[in-house]
Amino acid sequence: MRKQLLRRHARVCLLVASTALAWPSAGLAESTADTIAVNVDQAKLVRLPGKVATIVVGNPLIADVTLQPGGMIVVTGKGYGATNFIALDRAGEILVDRQIQVEGPSDRVVTVYRGVERESYSCLPLCQRRVTLGDSDSYFSTTMGQAGSLSSNASGNASAGAKTN
């Protein structure tokens, strides 16, 4: 009888241990250490091994990864969500395979809803238009058009000023 109880206990312990190891959160400490967190519309510098030759991004709509000299990469958050990137050497060997988590903006954002139309404003210290993924098409297009026009005019004026000097 005692042997049967010990065997049953051993089986239960084995079952609990195998379930704990198979549970998704079992490797959570490892995966969060390998995750690069970046805010949308912001960039982060990350140092990789110096012999990286190629970078592959899982979903370039979520993040962009640009290789810089000396094994430095620039990770830019482009859309909300998670993706990964893989760094390869010249021989095609995988050097790094890491997750990228793109989160919401870090500044104070106020969202205004007009029915189904959405507008975003960055309010630090004053509220100004801020284009954010999910804003209505008309607000997004108008704000981007104004920003493009301002940028174009500023670089046009800078060029004209450089020619007159």
7 and 23 housed in the same domain: yes
* pLDDT score at 70: 84
**Mean pLDDT over each residue of the chain, to the nearest integer:** 80
Tell me, yes or no, whether 161 lies in a domain: no
Residue 144 sits in which domain range?
Answer: 109-156
pTM (two decimals): 0.62
38 and 99 housed in the same domain: yes
> In this predicted model, what pLDDT tens digit does every residue of 22-59 receive, in sequence order?
433 333 333 346 899 999 889 999 999 879 999 999 99
Enter the tokens of residue 89: 């050497």
* pLDDT score at 163: 59
Helix, strand, or coil here: 92? coil
52 and 82 housed in the same domain: yes
> In this predicted model, what pLDDT tens digit does every residue of 56-69 receive, in sequence order?
999 999 999 999 98
| % residues pLDDT > 90 (the chain) | 48
Question: What's the number of domains the chain is made of?
Answer: 3
> In this predicted model, what pLDDT tens digit does every residue of 128-146 receive, in sequence order?
888 888 899 999 899 899 8
In sequence order, which residues have a C-beta less than 8 Å from that of residue 103 and are 6 or more positions away? 37, 38, 39, 40, 77, 80
Segment 120-127 mean pLDDT: 88
